[in-house]
């Protein structure tokens, strides 16, 4: 995979955790072992939808080498869940997908634990499995959760199997549609897909008295702490969560789940308990995979490209439980509009229970699928009025100072600039062989402003330590925090160490999700470092006998401006014995208002995007007409993510995000049988992109310093690279074969079949 530099200067910062990871000396959770530990295994459901009539664990408990066997009868009956409290640790009366856990076993070896788990006897009364999430909405459909009305939940428009319903309504779409020169309709269906991090999850729990420490491969240690405390009915102060190095997550390790099971087993076994998932379990057990989605779009357009109206209906497969995915209906509705100007919209978006694996946050949840549908649809709209697809976007993309389709007035944004940059980098409009073409797609993603906190202290030798609750999932976001502290304190980033991923050490943080680490924790680090800066200046005033206004901090010293020989080093000040410690969080930015919240169903506050991240991608592909095999030859990614704080880290996010997006576009899809069981829960048939599949990737950052955003006017960079990638690839494929593939992933079989429909 070749990288091509854009014209901006490269800022090189070698991340502190890099060496231990690339040399293999870093310790991940699965590498840890505690004295006296035993091993955990789970007994999973035998059906995807059934009532449980009997559970008997006596044979498992009698097996030699078994220390504990737990079922629902052995733990508090506490319902939990991020936005809907719809699940129990161990299934009690019913199972709803193949990953439901009936029992947990702790035994001397993993093999004995697996043998004991298989000995747990369960009797079922099978129920019809509802795997077609669209049919689950039908009146009279079997309920996945018969007692759904009793669950604690946020107001999301729930009704039966409809887990959430969100509308976006502005203007009069019906009347406006009648004024259009062309009305274009389309239906697009995206399969579910997986996060598939390299590291399968692992958890170790150890009790000391009435307190438990959990080492776990989670992206959200504070949510895991709250979850363990909730399900085991403990004070949060009795739960410590530590994350060793994390081998990726992509959202699949967000939210709380298995930490509670392992902590309960460790308490019952009176020994440390370790759980390490097999690759098969990593596919089927987690309640986090990218959601399947069906999108119906109708757009009215004038001959000059003006979009007069859009109607849309989206149905999202929520799977068996809500998890943290309750906001998906509203998020998908916003992506069905996209970063385009239109005054009349009518969007209905539904999140629906099914007996499939639960959906939840995977890199930019709902956005890649909805964007893939919308961007292919935009090319079809362009064709209907005889306009070039890039020109249509030129005329319709949202502008600075204009109102979005939800009435939000947009601040400084650079979406149009990203379009021009991507088109220029990829060579849009060039002559190509008839089996090659270029496709373009645009997209957006919000920033998430939440509370965070950090401490910064200076040590006696003049070095610094950043203490943060932020989580490093491999992206380098936490590793970039020293850049911000160093800039405030006149030091080098390499002067700072970082203490992180320990709930007993750092202040609360949302975790590695929502592309929010630099956006929020970076602000906290700047505030904390600024406190330390003030303390240094106070001390230097006395030492140098100079007024504060005459002092500056740079190059590791505090000096009198204009008198370089009149200075004192930060090391000397820090070594004087006076504590130099700052704390900070900063004000949380908020999105500007939208004017439609009063008449929208299921409004969760996402009808306005805070500091939107704006993206244009362009793909140059080659299609083998005889087989349908698609190869991405070159790729251009142009992003407005505000001010880029750490260029090398930001580039890395784009490389990885584009590759993940190409995988979703062409090969990655979870397939289910009629009972809701995964057909391809392994890396043999679930096809990930590898380095050999990577195209040349060109990157451009449109650095629009953004008000009301992150540090220095920055925005997030982690999720946007996956948003329009599939759309760009899809439009390039259609330009070759003459017809859009309406199912994601666009596998060789689907590309070939679509080309045959078009007579190619």
Structure tokens at 665: 């576009």
- The set of residues, in sequence order, having a beta carbon less than 8 Å from that of 649 and lying 6+ positions away, is 13, 15, 475, 476, 477, 479, 480, 717
CB 262 within 8 A of CB 273: yes
CB 715 within 8 A of CB 706: yes
Superfamily of domain 32-127+203-248+254-284: Aldehyde oxidase/xanthine dehydrogenase, a/b hammerhead (3.90.1170.50)
CA angle 755, 757, 758 (to 5 degrees): 65
Orientation of helix 481-489 relative to helix 522-544, angle to 10°: 20
Domain 293-449+593-757 matches domain 454-584 at the CATH topology level:
yes
Q: How many CB atoms lie within 10 A of CB 33?
A: 10
Residue ranges per structural domain of the chain? 32-127+203-248+254-284, 293-449+593-757, 454-584
The helix or strand, by DSSP H or E, that contains position 635, with its residue range, turns out to be strand 630-640
Report the pLDDT value the prediction gives residue 3, as an integer from 0 to 100.
43
- The bridge status of strand 563-569 relative to strand 581-584 is unpaired
CB 53 within 8 A of CB 123: yes
The candidate with the shortest Cα–Cα distance to 385, out of 301, 297, 298, 299, is 301
Tokens 């991507």, residue? 422
Residue 95, classified by CB atoms within 10 Å of its CB into exposed (0-12), middle (13-18) or buried (19+), is buried
The candidate with the shortest Cα–Cα distance to 288, out of 215, 361, 392, 387, is 361
The candidate with the shortest Cα–Cα distance to 381, out of 368, 400, 395, is 395
Q: Using CA atoms, how far apart are residues 346 and 199, in angstroms rounded to an integer? A: 42
* Residue 41 preceded by cis peptide, ω within 30: no
Confidence of residue 570 (pLDDT cuts 50, 70, 90): very high
φ, ψ at 609 (rounded to 5°):
-95, 120
Report the pLDDT value the prediction gives residue 597, as an integer from 0 to 100.
59
Report the pLDDT value the prediction gives residue 2, as an integer from 0 to 100.
43
Q: Using CA atoms, how far apart are residues 425 and 637, in angstroms rounded to an integer? A: 9
CB environment 212-250: b (16+ within 10 A), e (fewer): bbbbbbbbbbbbbbbbbbbbbebeeeebbbbbbbbbbbb
Report the pLDDT value the prediction gives residue 404, as an integer from 0 to 100.
93
Residue 679, classified by CB atoms within 10 Å of its CB into exposed (0-12), middle (13-18) or buried (19+), is exposed
- The set of residues, in sequence order, having a beta carbon less than 8 Å from that of 660 and lying 6+ positions away, is 250, 363, 689, 721, 722, 725
What is the rounded average pLDDT of the residues 323-339?
94
Residue 597, classified by CB atoms within 10 Å of its CB into exposed (0-12), middle (13-18) or buried (19+), is middle
Q: pLDDT for 396-427, tens place per residue?
A: 999 999 999 999 999 899 999 999 999 999 99
Q: Using CA atoms, how far apart are residues 556 and 561, in angstroms rounded to an integer? A: 14
Does residue 8 register a pLDDT over 60? no
CB 366 within 8 A of CB 316: yes
φ, ψ at 397 (rounded to 5°):
-65, 145
**Three-state secondary structure readout of 414-454:** CHHHHHHHHHHHHCCCCCCCCCEEEEEEEEEEEECCCCCCE
Tokens 């789970």, residue? 42
The candidate with the shortest Cα–Cα distance to 608, out of 350, 334, 343, is 334
Does residue 760 register a pLDDT over 70? no
Give every strand in the sheet of 630-640, ordered side by side: 3-4, 696-701, 630-640, 610-623, 436-447
Q: pLDDT for 307-321, tens place per residue?
A: 999 999 999 999 999
Tokens 């019952």, residue? 268
**Three-state secondary structure readout of 495-509:** HEEEECCECCCCCCC
CB 709 within 8 A of CB 715: yes
Tokens 């956006």, residue? 519
Q: pLDDT for 377-389, tens place per residue?
A: 999 999 999 999 9
DSSP code of residue 101: E
Does residue 230 register a pLDDT over 80? yes
The candidate with the shortest Cα–Cα distance to 519, out of 450, 592, 445, is 450
> What CATH code is assigned to 293-449+593-757?
3.30.365.10
pLDDT higher at 2 or 290: 290
Structure tokens at 545: 């006998």
Mean pLDDT of the chain: 94
We find that the CATH architecture of domain 454-584 is 2-Layer Sandwich (3.30)
Q: pLDDT for 580-619, tens place per residue?
A: 999 999 889 888 888 875 567 888 888 999 999 999 999 9
Q: Using CA atoms, how far apart are residues 313 and 170, in angstroms rounded to an integer? A: 15
Three-class DSSP category at 620? strand
Structure tokens at 648: 């090398």
What is the rounded average pLDDT of the residues 657-665?
97
- The bridge status of strand 162-170 relative to strand 182-190 is unpaired
Report the pLDDT value the prediction gives residue 515, as an integer from 0 to 100.
87
φ, ψ at 4 (rounded to 5°):
-120, 125
Three-class DSSP category at 749? helix
Bridge partners (DSSP) listed for residue 314 = 295, 349
Ramachandran sector of residue 740 (left: φ over 0; alpha: ψ -120 to 50; beta: rest): beta
Reported as half-sphere exposure (CB side, CA atoms, 13 A), residue 140 has a value of: 0
Q: Using CA atoms, how far apart are residues 26 and 244, in angstroms rounded to an integer? A: 9
């Amino acid at each position: 995979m070749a990288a091509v530099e854009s014209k901006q200067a490269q800022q090189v910062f070698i991340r502190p955790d890099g060496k231990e990871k690339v040399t293999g000396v870093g310790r991940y959770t699965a590498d840890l072992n505690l004295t006296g530990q035993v091993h955990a295994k789970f007994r999973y459901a035998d059906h995807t939808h059934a009532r449980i009539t009997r559970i008997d664990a006596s044979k498992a408990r009698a097996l030699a080498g078994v220390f504990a066997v737990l079922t629902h009868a052995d733990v508090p009956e506490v319902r939990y869940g991020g936005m809907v409290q719809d699940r129990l640790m161990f299934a009690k009366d019913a199972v709803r997908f193949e990953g439901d856990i009936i029992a947990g076993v702790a035994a001397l070896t993993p093999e004995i634990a697996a043998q004991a788990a298989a000995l747990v006897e369960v009797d079922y009364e099978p129920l019809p499995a509802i795997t077609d999430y669209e049919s689950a909405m039908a009146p009279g459909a079997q309920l996945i959760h018969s007692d759904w009305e009793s669950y604690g939940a946020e107001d999301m428009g729930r009704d039966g199997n409809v887990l959430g319903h969100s509308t976006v309504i502005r203007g009069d779409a019906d009347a406006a549609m009648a004024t259009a020169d062309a009305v274009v309709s389309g239906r697009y269906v995206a399969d579910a897909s997986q996060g598939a991090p390299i590291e399968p999850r692992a958890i170790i729990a150890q009790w000391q008295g009435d307190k438990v420490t959990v080492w776990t491969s989670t992206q959200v240690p504070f949510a895991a702490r709250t979850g363990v405390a909730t399900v085991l009915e403990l004070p949060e102060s009795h739960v410590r969560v530590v994350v060793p190095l994390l081998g990726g997550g992509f959202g699949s390790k967000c939210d709380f789940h298995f930490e509670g099971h392992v902590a309960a087993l460790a308490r019952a076994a009176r020994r440390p308990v370790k759980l390490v998932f097999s690759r098969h379990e990593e596919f089927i057990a987690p309640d986090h995979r990218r959601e399947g989605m069906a999108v119906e779009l109708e757009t009215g357009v004038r001959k000059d490209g003006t979009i007069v109206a859009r109607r849309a209906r989206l149905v999202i497969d929520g799977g068996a439980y809500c998890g943290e995915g309750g906001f998906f209906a509203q998020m998908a509705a916003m992506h069905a509009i996209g970063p385009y100007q239109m005054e009349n919209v009518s969007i209905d978006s539904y999140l629906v229970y099914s007996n499939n694996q639960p959906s939840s946050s995977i890199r930019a949840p709902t956005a890649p699928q909805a964007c893939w549908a919308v961007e292919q649809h935009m090319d079809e709209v362009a064709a209907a009025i005889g306009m070039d697809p890039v020109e249509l976007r030129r005329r319709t993309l949202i502008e600075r100072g204009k109102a979005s389709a939800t009435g939000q007035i947009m601040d400084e944004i650079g979406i149009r600039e990203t379009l021009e940059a991507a088109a220029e980098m990829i060579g849009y409009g060039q002559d190509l062989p008839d089996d090659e073409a270029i496709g373009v797609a645009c997209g957006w993603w919000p920033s998430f402003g939440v509370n965070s906190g950090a401490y910064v202290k200076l040590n006696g030798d003049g070095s610094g330590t950043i203490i943060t609750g932020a989580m490093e999932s491999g992206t380098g976001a936490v590793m970039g925090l020293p850049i911000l502290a160093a800039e405030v304190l006149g030091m080098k980033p390499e002067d700072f160490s970082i203490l992180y991923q320990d709930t007993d050490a750092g202040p609360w943080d949302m975790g590695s999700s929502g592309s929010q680490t630099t956006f929020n924790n970076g602000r906290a680090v700047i505030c904390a470092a600024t406190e330390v800066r003030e303390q240094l200046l106070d001390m230097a005033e006395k030492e140098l006998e100079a007024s504060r206004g005459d002092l500056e901090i740079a190059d590791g010293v505090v000096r009198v401006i204009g008198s370089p020989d009149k200075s004192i080093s930060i090391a000397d000040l820090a070594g004087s014995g006076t504590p130099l410690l700052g704390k900070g969080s900063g004000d949380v930015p908020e999105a500007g208002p939208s004017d439609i919240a009063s008449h929208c169903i299921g409004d969760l506050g996402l009808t306005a995007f805070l500091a939107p991240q704006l993206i244009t991608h362009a793909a140059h592909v080659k299609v083998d007409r005889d087989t349908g095999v698609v190869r991405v030859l070159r790729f251009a990614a142009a992003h407005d993510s505000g001010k880029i704080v750490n260029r090398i880290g930001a580039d890395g996010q784009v490389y990885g995000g584009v590759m993940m997006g190409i995988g979703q576009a062409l090969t990655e899809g979870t397939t289910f049988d009629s009972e809701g069981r995964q057909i391809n829960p392994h890396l043999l048939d679930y096809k990930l992109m590898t380095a050999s599949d990577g195209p040349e990737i060109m990157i451009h950052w449109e650095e629009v310093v953004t008000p009301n955003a992150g540090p220095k006017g920055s925005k997030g960079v982690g999720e946007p690279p996956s948003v329009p990638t599939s759309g760009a690839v899809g439009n390039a494929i259609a330009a070759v074969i003459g017809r859009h593939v309406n199912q994601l992933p666009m596998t060789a079989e689907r590309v070939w079949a679509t080309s045959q429909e078009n007579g190619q």
